[in-house]
Structure 1
Amino acid sequence: MTEELSAPPPLPNFGDPNNQPSTEWYYVANGSRQGPVPASAIRELLKRKELKTDTQVWRKGMPEWKSLRESDLAEFVAAEPPAISGQYIGNGYVWTLALLPLLIGVIEAVVSASNQEAAARSLVLGLPYHPSNGLPFQIPLLVNALLGWLDDRKLKQEGYGSRVTRVTAVLFQPVYLFLRAKRLKQRPYYAVAWIISFIAGLLIYASVEG
């Protein structure tokens, strides 16, 4: 009796010499679906840190979205450790950033009150009045940019950095704080604290000026 041989399982279909699946993929970025793109494009986005290992991807034939690490593209991220949990990342820089507007408002209010007192004293004594200058506007901008840059650099080391957060961390700190909280799956307490701090700083300064 001749033993019946079973056919070998089909080999995976690789579309290029780098063993990349030829199927086109969709991925989630900035809260919206992107694609379709070839697997090679996914790999390049990973290299540029524009995608993370837990980015959701999908291709035809998959029943649901999966993270890159759990999909057929897992070989692209096999050598990359996953980002650590957001609960283990310190928030020292961002809390300093959040309270900075209040501190600046207090400093400006103190300088303004000192100027008013000096002006009154000079008027009474008939002395020349030389008002003190407040903080040059470049100083708060530089301090904000430095704190944002330091925090984003730390996030990059922990696997969360991206071009968007890098730009907003230096130029648009309030936006960065909300993006950071969303990315780390934290409640945006420090982002809300920045808004409150900013309003409080303005009110303190306006009360002295008024």
Structure 2
Amino acid sequence: MKPGDYVLNLIKDAPKNRRTIALIRHSKRESFNGIPDELRDSVGITEEGIVMAREFGEAMNQIPSVKRLLLGHTIAKRAEMTAQSIFDGYCSESQARILGCEPTITSPVVNLDNLVKVRNTFGWSNLIIKWLDEKIPGNTLRNPYEYTDETLRNVLHYPGLGRGELLIIVAHDITLFPLIYSLFGENVKSIEFLNGIVISADTNIAEISFVDAKNTFKTERRIS
């Protein structure tokens, strides 16, 4: 499976008479080595990451049910570059538009200094486990369930997305970990570049799916 294939397959299977929303991790990024934590939003994607994202966009052309493609991203450079590279690969400017930082995907980090201290104490993987178990104070990371509710509300109520249209939002693994845990009850250990959740929504119900090499999850959530 190539990066992004799980999401592409879910999009292909999405009902044509619904809105489709994909919230995905960015493409392969440059190393964080030597980059202060407060400057990590400035880290972009690698040349390989650009190719991966462009190929993802090219594959979108093989999904005839997509009437229009909208691309949003977080403020991080690697998310913006991924969205632009997907757009470049899609190469159908009349049927695609980059929205910028819309809809709003906020960071779950409340205090970066506190986060760095906790990460240095427990390590990244154990930090995520403790966070999802609600054992990290709210002055460091937001409650994962509250964060999931806000994120889903922001994407599901984004205006201007019609039936048969696709909204892809490029975010981060720290965005997706709490959503996957809150929605499916599973703590996945890692999320591949360009993988994420796919939402198929009508007026009242959102069907939400996630697939990787080990898991296949699907659930429904009422839109309120």
TM normalised by structure 2 equals 0.24
Max Rg structure = 1
More relative contact order, 1 or 2 (CA 8 Å, 6+ apart)? 2
TM normalised by structure 1 equals 0.25
